[in-house]
């Protein structure tokens, strides 16, 4: 019975420190939640530093391309509703229920726009991805030789096609994922 106590093992100590660091990290994230503008400014600064690193180092284009694809994927999830109206409409047609589309008249039920990817998770994932990409640019193993103009053209084509499809989807199902440009109603009069 010379075995150490379960709470004194090295694994328990590492686990306790990891848990403590995780709680501190979550505390800082929770404190930063109300400061949307400052969070996004810091992310934009980090992205600018990343681009400066790419331009100065003249390499790591595949890391940059991968980051661009990931950020595009996050942005599309940010623009889409949590419940896709095209899927609910298709399910309604299969079940014989055609009333499951978004409201188009005054007397229909109001359903607020709920994003598939909330703003805070979008910011957190984007910032973490930029930081990881910036970290990867310091290691030669990630500097895969590629002809970067092909990646740029391919990314621009991919961006334009996916955004066109997303905008057509937004027009077809009549939803706007942003709050600007929407009607503001007076709370007293109900309009």
Q: Decide if pLDDT at 51 tops 60.
A: yes
* Per-residue model confidence (pLDDT) at position 100: 47
With cut-offs at 50, 70 and 90, classify the pLDDT of residue 96: very low
Question: Which pLDDT score is estimated for 16?
Answer: 87
Asked if residue 127 lies in contact with residue 46, where contact means CB atoms within 8 angstroms, the answer is yes
Query: What pLDDT is stored for residue 34 in this prediction?
Result: 93
* Confidence check: pLDDT of 183 > 70: no
Q: Per-residue confidence at 98, pLDDT binned at 50, 70, 90? A: very low
- pTM for the whole structure: 0.74
79, 150 Cβ separation under 8 angstroms:
no
126-162, pLDDT tens digit by residue? 999 999 999 999 999 999 999 999 999 999 999 999 9
């Amino acid at each position: 019975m010379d075995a150490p106590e379960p709470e004194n093992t090295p694994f328990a100590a590492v686990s306790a420190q990891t848990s403590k660091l995780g709680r501190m990290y979550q505390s800082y994230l929770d404190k930063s939640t109300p400061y949307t503008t400052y969070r996004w400014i810091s992310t934009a600064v980090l992205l600018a530093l990343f681009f400066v690193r790419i331009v100065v180092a003249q390499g790591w284009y595949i890391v940059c391309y991968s980051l661009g694809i990931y950020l595009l994927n996050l942005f599309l999830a940010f623009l889409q509703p949590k419940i896709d109206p095209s899927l609910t409409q298709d399910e309604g047609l299969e079940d014989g229920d055609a009333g499951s589309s978004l409201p188009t008249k005054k007397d229909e039920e109001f359903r607020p726009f709920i994003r598939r990817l909330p703003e805070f998770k979008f910011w957190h994932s984007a910032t973490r991805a930029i930081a990881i990409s910036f970290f990867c640019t310091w290691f030669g193993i990630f500097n895969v030789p590629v002809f970067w103009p092909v990646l740029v053209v391919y990314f621009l084509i991919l961006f334009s096609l996916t955004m066109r499809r997303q905008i057509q989807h937004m027009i077809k199902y009549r939803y706007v994922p942003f709050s600007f440009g929407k009607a503001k109603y007076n709370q007293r009069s109900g309009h």
